[in-house]
Amino acid sequence: MKPEHIVILSEDFPPYPGGIAQWAAGIGKGLTSAGKKVTVLFRPRPDLAEFESEKWPFKTVPIEGKNWKQFRTWICKRAVQKLLSTGEKPDLIIATTWNVARGIVSICKKNEIPLILVVHGLEVTRPMPFLKKLWLKHTLNKVTKIVAVSQFTKDQIDANYHLPERKVVVLPNGVDVADFYPVSDVTLLQNRHHTEGKKIILTFARVIERKGHDVVIQSLPKIKTVFPELVYLICGKGDAEYISKLKALAADLGVEDDVVFTGFVDPKEKNQYYNLCDVYIMPSREINGDTEGFGITYLEANACEKPVIGGNSGGVADAIVQGETGYLVEPLNVKEIEGRLLELLGTPELAHKLGQQGRDRILNSLTWEAVAKKLVISL
C-alpha cells in the first residue's frame, strides 16, 4: 500500500539555509504535488527571518525544546508522540537526519509506521566518537529504509555498516525550478557590487576550508591576465578566522579588490546571485572525512542555466555530468581550475550550452516532483 499521509521530521527547514533544509522543503512540495498529505515537523529558528507558514502547501508544525543539540533526539520523540496522541497516525515518517530518527525508531515499530532515514554524507564519512557511532549503527539497522543522496554516500554506508541488500536506495537531490530559473535583469546586484561589464565567478556555500574558496582565489591572478575586469563573489556565512585567512591570501596575491564576501544572502536574492554570475564554482575536497555528500548548489546554478565546476570528491559526481552540465576538477589542482575557468569565461557559447543542458537535465529528472515520485516508487 502506498502512503497517503507522510510526516517529514527535520531539524533544518527554510529560512534556515543548507542542503538538509532544502531537502525537507523540496520533498515536501514534491509529495504534495503528487497528491500526498504532508506534515512537516521542524525546529524553528527565531534568529533568522520570520517563518512564513502560509507560503508552504503543506502543514508545518514547529518543534519546541531547549538545548536542542543536546536533547534533540528526545525533543523529536516527544513531538511525534504528541502528534500520535491526537489520533493522527501517518502512513510514513521521513527523518532527514539520523539524530532525529534515533528517538522515534521504537515508536514507529510499536505503531507499525514505516520510517525512512535520509543520509547526506557527513554522518557516514566524518569520524565520530565510539558511542555516537554505535547509536548511528543502531539507527541505520532499525529504520525501514535508507535514502542516500548520492552513490558515494551509499558506497560509504555499504562499506562501513554492511546493511541488508536493497535497504539503501540512491535518490539524488532535486531543485525547485520555481525558485531557480534564468532572468536577464540583475541590475540591483550589479549596482550593489559594481560588477557591470565584468566577468563574475560565484561560490554559494558556507565559508569553510573544504568548499575550496582558497583554491579559486589562487587561480585569480592567472585569470586576471586574460580578464582584468573580474569579480569573485563568495556568498555565505562562515568562520571569521577562516574568512580572515582568505582575505589575507587574496591580499598576498594582489587580488583583494576582486574578491567580494557578501556574508549571509537573503533567500529571496539567491536566484539573482546565480543569474549574476558567468560561472559557478565550488571545488570541494575531503578533509579528515568531511566531504561533500552531493552539492545541491550545483543544481541551483544549473537551473539558472549557468555552467558549474565542482571538486571531484565525495558525491559531487552525482550532481555534475562531466562535460555536459559542467566540469569536475581535482580540488587542489590550481592549473586545472584556471584552465576550466578560462575556457568557460572565454567561450560564452560553450558556457551557455552547458548551463542549458544542466537546466534540461533538471527539468527532465531532478525537480523535486520527479524526486518525490521516485521516492514513492522505491517504497
Neighbours of 167 (CB within 10 A): 15
> Residue 86 and residue 223: Cα distance in Å, rounded?
61
Q: Same CATH fold, 187-364 and 5-171?
A: yes
Q: Is the pLDDT of residue 241 over 80?
A: yes
pLDDT computed for residue 152 by the predictor: 94
Q: Is the pLDDT of residue 48 over 70?
A: no
Give residue 42's identity as a one-letter amino acid code: F
pLDDT computed for residue 224 by the predictor: 97
> Residue 125 and residue 312: Cα distance in Å, rounded?
16
Average pLDDT, the chain: 94
Q: Dihedrals φ, ψ of 115, to 5°?
A: -125, 120
Portion of the chain with pLDDT greater than 70, in percent: 98
> Residue 224 and residue 212: Cα distance in Å, rounded?
19
pLDDT confidence band for 55 (50 / 70 / 90): confident
pLDDT computed for residue 286 by the predictor: 93
pLDDT computed for residue 172 by the predictor: 93
Q: What residues does each domain of the chain span? A: 5-171, 187-364
Stretch 114-124: mean pLDDT: 93
Report whether 155 contacts 318 (CB < 8 A).
Answer: no
Neighbours of 143 (CB within 10 A): 25
pLDDT computed for residue 87 by the predictor: 87
pLDDT confidence band for 18 (50 / 70 / 90): confident
Quote the CATH superfamily of domain 5-171: Glycogen Phosphorylase B; (3.40.50.2000)
Give residue 165's identity as a one-letter amino acid code: E
Asked if CATH classification 3.40.50.2000 holds for the domain at 187-364, the reply, yes or no, is yes
Tens digits of per-residue pLDDT, 172-196?
999 999 999 999 999 999 999 999 9
Tens digits of per-residue pLDDT, 337-352?
999 999 999 999 999 9
Going 217 to 223 to 224 to 229, the CA torsion angle's sign is negative
In the block, residue with C-alpha cell 549571509: 264
pLDDT computed for residue 290 by the predictor: 87
> Residue 12 and residue 340: Cα distance in Å, rounded?
34
Q: Dihedrals φ, ψ of 144, to 5°?
A: -70, -45
Tens digits of per-residue pLDDT, 271-325?
999 999 999 999 999 998 889 999 999 999 999 999 999 999 999 999 999 999 9
Q: Is the pLDDT of residue 129 over 80?
A: yes
3-state secondary structure the chain: CCCCEEEEEECCCCCCCCHHHHHHHHHHHHHHHCCCEEEEEECCCCCCCCCCHHHCCCEEEECCCCCHHHHHHHHHHHHHHHHHHCCCCCCEEEECCHHHHHCCHHHHHHCCCCEEEEECCHHHHCCCCHHHHHHHHHHHHHCCEEEECCHHHHHHHHHHHCCCCCCEEECCCCECCCCCCCCCCCHHHHHHHCCCCCEEEEEECCECHHHCHHHHHHHHHHHHHHCCCEEEEEECCECHHHHHHHHHHHHHCCCHHHEEEEECCCHHHHHHHHHHCCEEEECCCCECCECCCCCHHHHHHHHCCCCEEEECCCCHHHHCCECCCEEEECCCCHHHHHHHHHHHHHCHHHHHHHHHHHHHHHHHHHEHHHHHHHHHHHC
> Residue 191 and residue 350: Cα distance in Å, rounded?
27
Residue 73's alpha-carbon distances to 77, 86, 200, 276, in angstroms, are: 6, 21, 43, 41
Q: Is the pLDDT of residue 52 over 90?
A: no
Going 76 to 82 to 85 to 90, the CA torsion angle's sign is negative
Report whether 305 contacts 359 (CB < 8 A).
Answer: yes
Stretch 72-99: mean pLDDT: 93
Neighbours of 256 (CB within 10 A): 14
Tens digits of per-residue pLDDT, 146-178?
999 999 999 999 999 989 888 999 999 999 999
pLDDT computed for residue 326 by the predictor: 98
pLDDT confidence band for 1 (50 / 70 / 90): low
pLDDT computed for residue 47 by the predictor: 64
> Residue 42 and residue 7: Cα distance in Å, rounded?
10
Q: Is the pLDDT of residue 50 over 70?
A: no
> Residue 176 and residue 368: Cα distance in Å, rounded?
6
